[in-house]
Structure formats: structure tokens, C-alpha cells
Structure 1
């Protein structure tokens, strides 16, 4: 039996070989793939990039590609690279664990894939490297579906996003509704630089809290989880946009209220 402790810090291809069992599979790998990425849950990690290193090994079913020398019969190395690049471009992620899960999930969509080892490390947070490694196996015959990044569960109501800010208009609200209310004070609608952009978004957050404070029917929502909960409770949602805007790619550059509302409604209906 393999001593898992002894190989705990080996690269994924070594761990894959050591845990292969009696019938080892073929493997393709991408090693030391380094990208500059905005990732992390700390405020100091927002608005900046850091080096992230990927090591991925994908175990695949046996094939006759070597005998036939036929590129169409093998899983391309690009399968791994594209899985990484697709997820990096899809959205901003806080946790390495989440990024590793998404990369593994996408690699396993190919029916010939059997097991994947994904190691992701941050290279700039400490003098060495800190990271996470996961091992995932495709179950059954059908490919593992890529997780649809639906903002709400399937049975949740999809709300309209309104710019109405007249409190009297709240009496006419029917059905699931999200309000994008004016910011607290004047803001730049096309802010130059990360600091100005964050200040403008925080002004919208302040406006949301001020608006909701005077009406018990309203609640401030800053995340999709909060939105789902509030809609199920029948509350009127006042959107504090900074978190979702900063966490989503591509985010709107134009911070006019009408533009933000239209962008958020489109996001909810993806």
C-alpha cells in the first residue's frame, strides 16, 4: 500500500502514478502553468493580480492513438489549458478550492477522462507557495456536466430589476422585485481607476442601506444567496451592488444606475 504521507508534497503526476492500482491509466499533464490572476477573499487581494501556478494531471481511458499516430483519438493537452483559461475568464473567485473544483469539473466533461489531479498554488503570498490539491473521478458513463453558474436555484423566482426610487411606488410592487436605488451623494458614472470605481460602488451600497432603513418591507441584498432568501420571504430587495459587480467578469464600466440595473437583470437571467 502506498504511504500517502510520504508523497503528500509530490507533484500530481507522482501521486497519480503512486495511486494507480493494478491497471494504471494513461495520463496527460500540464505542469507549472503560471498565470497572473485576481483571486482571493481578502480586501488586499482585490483589484490586484498575483501569480497562480497550476499543475494538472488527467487520467484517460486506454486508446490506440500511439499505434495509429492519430491526433483525433487522444485528449488534447489543450483540454487542460482551456479548462483553466475558461474558468479564469468566467468570473472572479475568492477561494483556490473553488477554482480547483471548477477546473477539475471541466476537465472531466470529456467521456474519455477518468480521474483528474489539480494542484493550484499562490506564489506571492508567502516566501514559498501555498495552495490546494484535489483529486476527482468521473462517475458513471455519462460526462460530468459543467456547473451552470445560475444565480438562483431552479425553483427560485427570477426578479425584475427596477430603478424606481419613489417610496410610494413600493405599494405597486407585485412579484419578485429588486430595486437599484440612487447612490448616497454624487458619484462618477465612468470612474477612472480602481479606487474611484470602488468609491462609486460603495456610494450605491450606502444609498441602498439608507433607503431600506425606513421600510420594513425592504431588505438590502449584496449576494445571490441573500437575494434568494429575501425573494422566498416575499421581501422587496434593495441591491447593494459593490460585491457582485467586483466579483463578476466582465463587470460594467458604466456605473449609471440604469446601466447597473440592466446588467444585473441580465446576469440573473443567464
Structure 2
């Protein structure tokens, strides 16, 4: 897929989760902030003006929040993978860029944010993996 995809962005989605390697992170939880940038062909939705021809971002937000609230993980890298799978479960999404922010990370210095960003693509069946590698 060499052509540029249209995009849907959902930024600043907040949910409380219990992810982290430290015991107090698992016990007390903390807020996570999620940004997703989805590669989608929106041509049909643009022509039809029908919700059925696009990604329902309200439903996607619900699924992402449920994933953040789900089973605890040690790493935000693993949480980002979980969230990318949620995005790619929507058949219209070809590419998902997911950023997970952990603004309350246990860092012993003043900081604004800790985040990880991953990019995953739908498997095409042509020997290309979800990262777009052959």
C-alpha cells in the first residue's frame, strides 16, 4: 500500500489503569493518556455521509478505555501493543499509530511526560508483518 491514507485522530483520551512494574502502581493505579492516529480510506464516507462507512470514534474510545482499564501490564510498551490491536480490529483501519503517555510515572526528577509511540499495520497476507516488514 504505497498511497497515502486518510487519517482519523483521537488525542488525549484519559483512563485509569494499574500498569507498571512497581507494587504501588499496581495497587493505586494512575491515569494514562492515549493518542491514536489511524490510517483509513475515508473516500466512501466522504461520498456517502454515512457513519457505517467510517470508524465510529466514540465506540473506538470506549474500546480503548476498556483496554487501559483491563488486565495490568508491566510496561507501557505492552499497553501500546494492546491498544494497537484494538485499533486494528476495526476492519477499516489499515495503520495505527498509538502513543501512551504516563504522566505520573515514578521518575525521581521533575518531568512533564513519559510516553511511547508505536506504529502497526494490518497484516496483508503477502508476507508482511504488522510492522510493515517482510
Q: TM-score, normalised by structure 2?
A: 0.79
Show structure 1 runs of 5+ residues with no match: 1-20, 142-270
Which residue of the partner structure matches residue 138 of structure 1?
Answer: 122
Q: Could you say which structure has the larger radius of gyration?
A: 1
Residue aligned with 1:47, SS: helix
Runs of 4+ in 1 over 6 A off after TM superposition: none
Q: Which has the higher contact order (CA 8 A, sep 6+)?
A: 2
Kept in 2: contact 1:79–1:107 (CA 8 A): no
CA RMSD across the alignment:
2.0
Kept in 2: contact 1:30–1:80 (CA 8 A): no
Which structure features the higher share of helix residues? 1
User: Is residue 26 from structure 1 mapped to residue 6 from structure 2 by the alignment?
Assistant: yes
Kept in 2: contact 1:58–1:113 (CA 8 A): yes
Structure 1 residue 90: Cα displacement: 3.1
Q: How does 1:98-113 map to 2 (within 5 A)?
A: 98-113=78-93
Which residue of the partner structure matches residue 3 of structure 1?
Answer: none
Among 58, 70, 80, the residue aligned to 2:50: 70
For 2:68 and 2:101, the matched residues in 1 are separated by: 14
Kept in 1: contact 2:9–2:35 (CA 8 A): yes
Kept in 1: contact 2:20–2:74 (CA 8 A): yes
Kept in 2: contact 1:63–1:74 (CA 8 A): no
Q: TM-score, normalised by structure 1?
A: 0.41
Which residue of the partner structure matches residue 67 of structure 2?
Answer: 87
User: Is residue 128 from structure 1 mapped to residue 112 from structure 2 by the alignment?
Assistant: yes
